[in-house]
Structure 1
Amino acid sequence: MTDKHEYVEEVAIPSASSHSGSATNFSDPIVENLRHEMEHETKEQAALDIEMAKARKTEPPSRRWIVLATATLGALFVSLQGSALIVALPDLMQNLNIDFATIIWVLLTYTLAITAIVPLLGFVGDAGLKGIRCRMFNIGFLVFTLGSLLCGISQKKYNGYDLLAYRVVQGLGGALLFSNCFAVVADKFYPYNQVGLASGIINIAFAAGTILGPVIGGATVKASWKWVFFFNLPFGAIGTVAGFWFCHDTVYPHVQYASFSKIVKSFDYTGCITLTTSIALLFVVVVSALFPNGKVSETGSLIGMGVAFGVLFITFIIQEAFVRGGKRFNASKTPFMDFRLFSNWIFNNTVVLGGLAGGVARTNLTFSFIFFFQGPYSKDPLMAGILLIPFGLGIMIAGMPAGKLADTLGFRYLCFAGLALASLATLIMPLVIKPDTNTWVISALLLVNGLGWGLYSSPSASISMLCILPQQRSSSSSIRIMFTMLSQMIAIVICFKVIISGMPPAAVQELFIYGGGIDHQYLDSFMHGWKIVCWITFAITLICCICAWALPVTPVMAHEEPESEVSSVMEVEANNKASA
Structure 2
Amino acid sequence: MRSSRSSSSGDLFAENVASDQAIEQSQDKPQGNYQWVALSVTTVGALLASMQGSALLIALPDIMAELHASFFTIMWVLMGYLLVLTVLTPVIGRLADIWGRKRLYNSGFVIFTIGSLLAGIAQPSFHGADMIIGRLIQGLGAALLVTNSTVIVTDAFRKGQIGLGLGINQIAGAAGFLLGPIVGGLLTEVSWRWVFLFNVPIGVFGAIWAIKRLREPVGGMAHSHIDWLGSVTLMIGLTGVLLALTMLAFPMLPEPVIIAILGVGIIGLVLFGIFEPRIAEPIVQLRLFTNRLFTLANLSGLLNGIARGAVLFLLIFFLQGPYGQDPLTAGLMLTPFGAAFLVIGPLSGRLSDRVGSRLLAPIGLAISAVGLLALSTVTASTPFWLLAVYMALMGGGSGFFVSPNTNAIMGSVEPHTRGAAAGILNMLNNTGQMLSIAIVFPLALKDVPQDAMMQVFIYGGGMSKFPSALNLFMNGLHTALLASFALSIVAMIVAALRPAH
Aligned to 2:3: none
Aligned to 2:431: 486
Provide Cα deviations, 1:30-49, integer angstroms capped at 9, x if missing partner: xxxxxxx9979543233223
1:504 aligns with 2:449: yes
Q: Which amino acid aligns with 1:359?
A: G
| Residues 79 and 206 in structure 1, CA contact (< 8 A), matched pair in contact too | yes
Instruction: Pick the structure with greater CA Rg.
Output: 1
1:300 to 250, 256, 261: 256
| Residues 373 and 384 in structure 1, CA contact (< 8 A), matched pair in contact too | yes
1:548 aligns with 2:495: yes
How far does residue 85 in structure 1 lie from its aligned partner after superposition? 1.5
User: Where do 1:122-133 residues align within 5 Å?
Assistant: 122-127=93-98, 129=99, 132-133=100-101
* Cα pair distance change 1:484/1:302, threshold 3 Å: same
Q: The residue matched to 1:412 in structure 2 has which SS? A: coil
1:238 aligns with 2:185: no
Aligned to 1:4: none
Q: Which amino acid aligns with 2:344?
A: A
User: What is the alpha-carbon distance in structure 2 between the residues aligned to residue 340 and residue 82 of structure 1?
Assistant: 34
How far does residue 291 in structure 1 lie from its aligned partner after superposition? 2.8
Provide Cα deviations, 1:294-332, integer angstroms capped at 9, x if missing partner: xxx2122112112111111111111223x32xxxxx3xx
1:160 aligns with 2:116: no
Deviation larger for 90-99 or 369-378: 90-99
How far does residue 467 in structure 1 lie from its aligned partner after superposition? 0.8
User: What is the alpha-carbon distance in structure 1 between the residues aligned to residue 472 and residue 70 of structure 2?
Assistant: 27
User: Where do 1:378-417 residues align within 5 Å?
Assistant: 378-417=324-363
User: What is the alpha-carbon distance in structure 2 between the residues aligned to residue 533 and residue 452 of structure 1?
Assistant: 19
* Cα pair distance change 1:352/1:40, threshold 3 Å: farther
1:107 to 63, 72, 78: 78
Aligned to 2:385: 440
User: What is the alpha-carbon distance in structure 2 between the residues aligned to residue 302 and residue 56 of structure 1?
Assistant: 49
Aligned to 2:5: none
* Cα pair distance change 1:390/1:92, threshold 3 Å: same
Aligned to 1:120: 91
Q: The residue matched to 2:309 in structure 1 has which SS? A: helix
User: What is the alpha-carbon distance in structure 2 between the residues aligned to residue 303 and residue 94 of structure 1?
Assistant: 32
| Residues 120 and 194 in structure 2, CA contact (< 8 A), matched pair in contact too | yes
Q: Which amino acid aligns with 1:120?
A: V
* Cα pair distance change 1:119/1:256, threshold 3 Å: closer
1:268 aligns with 2:235: no
User: What is the alpha-carbon distance in structure 1 between the residues aligned to residue 34 and residue 85 of structure 2?
Assistant: 28
| Residues 499 and 530 in structure 1, CA contact (< 8 A), matched pair in contact too | yes
User: What is the alpha-carbon distance in structure 2 between the residues aligned to residue 94 and residue 445 of structure 1?
Assistant: 33
Aligned to 1:567: none
| Residues 411 and 552 in structure 1, CA contact (< 8 A), matched pair in contact too | no
**Which sections of structure 2, spanning at least 5 residues, go unmatched?**
1-7
Aligned to 1:285: 244
| Residues 58 and 327 in structure 2, CA contact (< 8 A), matched pair in contact too | yes
How far does residue 512 in structure 1 lie from its aligned partner after superposition? 4.0
Aligned to 2:188: 221
| Residues 166 and 349 in structure 2, CA contact (< 8 A), matched pair in contact too | yes
**Aligned residues: percent identity?**
35
| Residues 62 and 458 in structure 2, CA contact (< 8 A), matched pair in contact too | no
Q: Which amino acid aligns with 2:82?
A: T
How far does residue 60 in structure 1 lie from its aligned partner after superposition? 5.0
1:539 aligns with 2:495: no
Give TM-score, length-normalised by structure 1: 0.79
Q: Which amino acid aligns with 1:80?
A: M
User: What is the alpha-carbon distance in structure 2 between the residues aligned to residue 56 and residue 299 of structure 1?
Assistant: 53
Q: Which amino acid aligns with 1:397?
A: V
RMSD across aligned positions (CA): 2.4
Q: Which amino acid aligns with 1:161?
A: A
Q: The residue matched to 1:248 in structure 2 has which SS? A: coil
User: What is the alpha-carbon distance in structure 1 between the residues aligned to residue 408 and residue 27 of structure 2?
Assistant: 20
| Residues 455 and 462 in structure 2, CA contact (< 8 A), matched pair in contact too | no
Provide Cα deviations, 1:473-529, integer angstroms capped at 9, x if missing partner: 111111121122222221112343211111222223323444314222123322222
Aligned to 2:299: 352
* Cα pair distance change 1:270/1:399, threshold 3 Å: same
Q: Which amino acid aligns with 1:275?
A: L
1:526 to 465, 469, 473: 473
User: What is the alpha-carbon distance in structure 2 between the residues aligned to residue 40 and residue 535 of structure 1?
Assistant: 53
Aligned to 2:111: 143
Provide Cα deviations, 1:402-440, integer angstroms capped at 9, x if missing partner: 111211233223223222222223233334x22211111
Aligned to 1:46: 17
User: What is the alpha-carbon distance in structure 2 between the residues aligned to residue 525 and residue 402 of structure 1?
Assistant: 39
| Residues 275 and 313 in structure 1, CA contact (< 8 A), matched pair in contact too | yes
User: What is the alpha-carbon distance in structure 2 between the residues aligned to residue 421 and residue 105 of structure 1?
Assistant: 32
